Amino acid sequence: MLDKLKEAEEKYIAIEKDLSDSEIIADQTKYTALMKEYKRLSPIIEKYREYKNFVKMQKDAEELLSDKPDEEMKALAQEELAEAKEGIEKCTNELKILLLPRDENDDKNVVIEIRAGAGGDEAALFSYVLYRMYTMYAESVGWKTELLSVNETGLGGFKEVSFTVMGDGAYSKLKFESGVHRVQRVPETEAQGRIHTSTVTVAVLPEAEDVEVEINPADIKFETCKSSGAGGQHINKTESAIRLYHKPTGIVIECQDERSQFKNKDKAMKLLRAKLYDMKTQEQHDKIANERKSQVGTGDRSERIRTYNYPQGRVTDHRVGYTSYTLESFLNGNISEMIDYIINVDTAEKLKS
């Protein structure tokens, strides 16, 4: 571990020097890449330097004790030695976590797709509830969201909705939300008060840059059409909605949120890039499926990960056995506690392996 840390510090110092080079500053692509790596290494190097300070403190205290000082100096040296040993142990544990292999997508923005599953209108209504929950969470941590595509129902629910979440580390926090979310509640249309169970599927995709996914323009077919659904006087007046077909994969994307055909086309391409990138990374995940079985979830989007029980006011994540009895607050975007708990469990599993 110490050899890795020494190499990392040397690399960090070299990057620090490069970032002040006028030629590199003028090259925005290179500068951005170096700055990204600098930010990634910073917490590791800060903790490593803290570790080295404690090692020096331990050495100095041991040297002082070896000189057989008077009682007062001996007591001070023993106190410093104890503090140094405690600091070394703490830093070592923290460095092990910092040095764990990182998901290369952790710093990316994400595209979230929410689709109503079993349960008809009730599932569509809960799709809207989850969309609201994630957008409120994003707002609470200072992230931005942008609606890409939505297919509404007459009752105010969403058959499906796609949107981006833009912010530092968005994927690292939201990647474990992929899977089947189950809701148990009494629908407003249920006269006899019976609890219904419905499901909604959530997919969290890392947003892909142009350079990460090659798309041949000849593989794409665009169609324009009139917008449909709720939306006021503009709906069905102009053909601003876009339907995109990607011939090699059969992916179909519709975007109608914007009045501008160009903006809808841009959003459709953003969604296509995310889907293609996700397909590519999913193949890599499948190759290491056995390893991931020991971690939180398998990455399988058919996996039921969470239940929202309205009568009991509880939400339970089945992967980690975490239950909260603050369902209303949770659905208002206060999901940080559960997200952090899941990340900590995953980190602990990675440390074991």
pLDDT at 291 over 60: no
* Averaged pLDDT for residues 68-94: 91
pLDDT at 210 over 80: no
- Report the C-alpha gap between 170 and 167 in whole angstroms: 5
- Backbone φ and ψ of 103, nearest 5°: -70, 125
The domains of the chain, with CATH numbers, are 2-98 (no CATH), 110-352 (3.30.70.1660)
In this prediction, residue 226 carries a pLDDT of 65
Place 310 in a pLDDT band, splitting at 50, 70 and 90.
Answer: very high
In this prediction, residue 231 carries a pLDDT of 46
In this prediction, residue 228 carries a pLDDT of 59
* Averaged pLDDT for residues 285-310: 61
- Report the C-alpha gap between 188 and 156 in whole angstroms: 13
In this prediction, residue 181 carries a pLDDT of 95
Q: For the segment 111-159, what is each residue's pLDDT rounded down to a tens digit?
A: 999 999 988 889 999 999 999 999 999 999 999 998 888 888 878 889 9
pLDDT at 285 over 60: no
Q: Of the candidates 260, 266, 262, 267, which has an alpha carbon nearest to the alpha carbon of residue 238?
A: 260
